[in-house]
Amino acid sequence: MQTLQTVDYLVLLIYFVIVSFYGYWIYNRRKNQQADSGDFFLAKGNLTWWVIGASLISSNISAEQMTGMSGSGFKLGLAISSYEWMAALSLIIVAVFFMPVYLKNKIYTMPQFLSERYNSKVAMIMAVFWLLLYIVVNLLSILYLGAIAIAGITGWSFALCVLLLAVVSIFIALGGMEVVGYTSAIHVFFLVFSGVLGLYVTLNLVSGDTGMMKGLALLQHDMPQHFKMIFDKSNSNYIDLPGLSVLLGGMWIANLNYWGCNQYITQRALGASLPVARKGILFAAFLKMVTPLIIVVPGIAIFYLYQHNLIDASLINITKDGVVTADSNKTYPTLLLLLPKGIKGITVAAFAATVIASLAAKVNSISTIFTLDIYKKAFQPNASEEKVVNIGKWAIVVSTFIGIALTLLLGDALMGEGKQGFQYIQEYSGFVSPGIFAMFLLGFFWKKTTSNAALFAMIGGFIFSVVLKFLPGTVNLEFLYSVGLSFPVNGIFEIPFIDRMGIVFLLCVIGMVLISFYENTKGVKPKGLEVDATMFKPSVSFAVGSLLIMGMLVALYTAYY
């Protein structure tokens, strides 16, 4: 097992130079064009279906997936794939029911939807919520996990890796959404290439150089617990993936909110026509079905190699307070070290590409929300197009440097010391996702929903989440164990965060319905969106592709239930 060689560093250097100059070239080219905020933030009409789909996946499968989810594969096994496979079904739902509403009503940002459906107060509060979430949770986690992986394989300092990833992403983001979209699509090729290569190398090592399929068969035979999709309460990891909730409960809240109510994701399709957007989203759903093979299964293989002393344990282990434990966040860097000379550089470049694409897309979304929904609404409504674009560029730079500072100051405390980075993202995003999803769902499909009801879901949902998170410290919740809503962790019965999201969502919906009915009796007439049944009719090809994905899901969960 070797670290990077000269040829690997050369490949890395060439990649960073090419990507940086490409972003800079587009940036300079756009400086000589007439400023247009719709083009800069959304690339209206410029993204094809395959670019939309590939960009969705490239921006989603970044450090949090490659580093975080492979680490969860190491610790939890194939069950963590539920986030990916349920996402495929969620993408189909978003394409059929959500995108028509956005595009029919010319919705280009999530706060804009809230403003038009509810009022400006709801939109402004939510815009601030999103900015905090994107910077404190998403931007920090992408930078931290990406830098951890690159530092682990290159030997460079963690701080240098953070700065390098952030600065290159600025060059890409300054080119606008079109640059982000096309560079992301290119990176998907490298992502799949490196993932398939990693799958081959790890399974071949497991089998003793007798082939991938023998390696996979050996993993399933020797570690059946790592190939169980639905945990029961006897499994120590039940707190992370609580049984059938991954199919029937809070997992839906996490996925539908992420894919359907998230500026960072939906922004790729909002500048396209409905047929193009749907094709792109369906393409992304197919890619989601494949990603566990190139992310989770190699993580399981690394666990097998670690358990059987077939790799250097020092690559995985950390020591804290004199106790040696395995750090699951080091799974992906260890995988990279297993690759042959020369290929390491290409693979690290591919990984860096996805991290940078994700960072660029994230800061572009932060910039879009800040510029269009805060600056232009609250500070300068009559700002020229040129002024709006320039403010957007400054927002990209400033938010990136805030992310750098937070990563260096708080990254280790939040995701270090053996914590699962992927689970950190899911849990802390889950503090706001139930309320947000309730606002959007009722806002879409129930015209009687009022603005005060939306405020209740937004603020009340966050408060409910905080209360349920810290309630076990003051109240004994053991009585909920029998119905699967609590699980013992260090002697305290906690509510699994996936179940917590489901509970908070139901409370938000009930509260919204009651408040809306009350206000309707007082004569309050909410603003509705333009919605009719014909909007939701998919094409034949889309329906066939969707049924194919659903069939694959049934087969997978039947085989690994």
* φ, ψ (nearest 5 deg) of residue 327: -100, 105
Number of alpha carbons in the 13 Å side-chain half-sphere of residue 212? 10
Is residue 556 a part of any domain in this protein? no
* CA–CA gap between residue 111 and residue 199 (Å, rounded): 41
**Do 76 and 166 belong together in one domain?**
yes
Is residue 503 a part of any domain in this protein? yes
Going by C-alpha positions, the residue among 89, 56, 101, 117 that lies closest to residue 365 is: 56
Count of residues in the chain: 561
- Which residues, 6+ apart, have CB-to-CB distance to 140 below 8 Å? 403, 406, 407, 410, 411, 414
DSSP calls for 16-43: HHHHHHHHHHHHHHHHTSPP-HHHHHH-
pLDDT, residue 41, reads 47
* CA–CA gap between residue 12 and residue 253 (Å, rounded): 39
Strands 492-494 and 323-326: unpaired
- Which residues, 6+ apart, have CB-to-CB distance to 187 below 8 Å? 58, 350, 353, 354, 356, 357
pLDDT, residue 548, reads 96
Residue pair 501/433 in contact (Cβ under 8 Å)? The answer is yes
E-strand spans in 462-561? Answer: 487-489, 492-494
**Do 400 and 445 belong together in one domain?**
no
**Do 435 and 392 belong together in one domain?**
no
Is residue 557 a part of any domain in this protein? no
Please classify residue 18 by burial: count the beta carbons closer than 10 Å to its beta carbon, then call 0-12 exposed, 13-18 middle and 19+ buried.
exposed
Number of alpha carbons in the 13 Å side-chain half-sphere of residue 303? 28
Is residue 47 a part of any domain in this protein? yes
Residue pair 58/184 in contact (Cβ under 8 Å)? The answer is yes
**Do 207 and 76 belong together in one domain?**
yes
**Do 382 and 521 belong together in one domain?**
no
* CA–CA gap between residue 228 and residue 561 (Å, rounded): 6
Residue pair 284/57 in contact (Cβ under 8 Å)? The answer is yes
- Which residues, 6+ apart, have CB-to-CB distance to 368 below 8 Å? 41, 42, 109, 263, 267, 392
Residue pair 3/153 in contact (Cβ under 8 Å)? The answer is yes
Is residue 552 a part of any domain in this protein? no
Is residue 542 a part of any domain in this protein? no
**Do 408 and 457 belong together in one domain?**
no
Give the chain's largest Cα–Cα span.
Answer: 74
**Do 134 and 223 belong together in one domain?**
yes
Give residue-wise pLDDT tens across range 455-481.
Answer: 999 999 999 999 998 888 888 898 888
**Do 257 and 376 belong together in one domain?**
yes
How many other C-beta atoms can be found within 10 angstroms of the C-beta atom of residue 26? 19
* CA–CA gap between residue 349 and residue 194 (Å, rounded): 9
Domain boundary among 390, 406, 422: 422
Please classify residue 527 by burial: count the beta carbons closer than 10 Å to its beta carbon, then call 0-12 exposed, 13-18 middle and 19+ buried.
middle
Residue pair 151/20 in contact (Cβ under 8 Å)? The answer is no
**Which whole-number Å values give the CA distances from 479 to 231, 236, 468, 476, 502, in the listed order?**
20, 19, 15, 8, 18
**Do 396 and 327 belong together in one domain?**
yes
pLDDT, residue 100, reads 87
**Do 259 and 336 belong together in one domain?**
yes
pLDDT, residue 81, reads 93
DSSP 478: G
**Which whole-number Å values give the CA distances from 469 to 257, 438, 449, in the listed order?**
20, 19, 28
Angle at 215 between CA 211 and CA 218, to 5 degrees: 140
**Do 69 and 49 belong together in one domain?**
yes
**Do 57 and 105 belong together in one domain?**
yes
Going by C-alpha positions, the residue among 430, 21, 488, 54 that lies closest to residue 252 is: 430
Own/partner long-range contacts of 369-372 (Cβ < 8 Å, ≥24 apart): 369/109, 369/110, 369/111, 369/127, 369/130, 369/131, 369/134, 369/263, 370/127, 370/131, 370/395, 370/399, 371/37, 371/41, 371/395, 372/37, 372/41, 372/108, 372/109, 372/111, 372/112
Is residue 172 a part of any domain in this protein? yes
Residue pair 429/255 in contact (Cβ under 8 Å)? The answer is no
Domain boundary among 366, 391, 422: 422
CATH code for the domain of 121: 1.20.1730.10
Domain boundary among 376, 401, 422: 422
For the chain, residues with pLDDT lower than 70 are 1-3, 16, 19-20, 22-47, 58-59, 62-64, 172-188, 190-191, 263-271, 320-321, 342, 415-424
Residue pair 81/243 in contact (Cβ under 8 Å)? The answer is no
Going by C-alpha positions, the residue among 43, 82, 84 that lies closest to residue 185 is: 43
Is residue 145 a part of any domain in this protein? yes
- Of all helices (H) and strands (E), which one includes residue 194? helix 177-206
E-strand spans in 416-489? Answer: 487-489
* CA–CA gap between residue 40 and residue 48 (Å, rounded): 16
Going by C-alpha positions, the residue among 231, 229, 68 that lies closest to residue 143 is: 68
Going by C-alpha positions, the residue among 328, 337, 304, 343 that lies closest to residue 208 is: 304
Domain count, the chain: 2
Q: Tell me the sheet residues that pair with 318.
A: 325
Q: By residue range, what is the domain housing residue 521?
A: 430-530
DSSP calls for 48-94: -HHHHHHHHHHHHSSHIIIIIIHHHHHHT-GGGGHHHHHHHHHHHHI
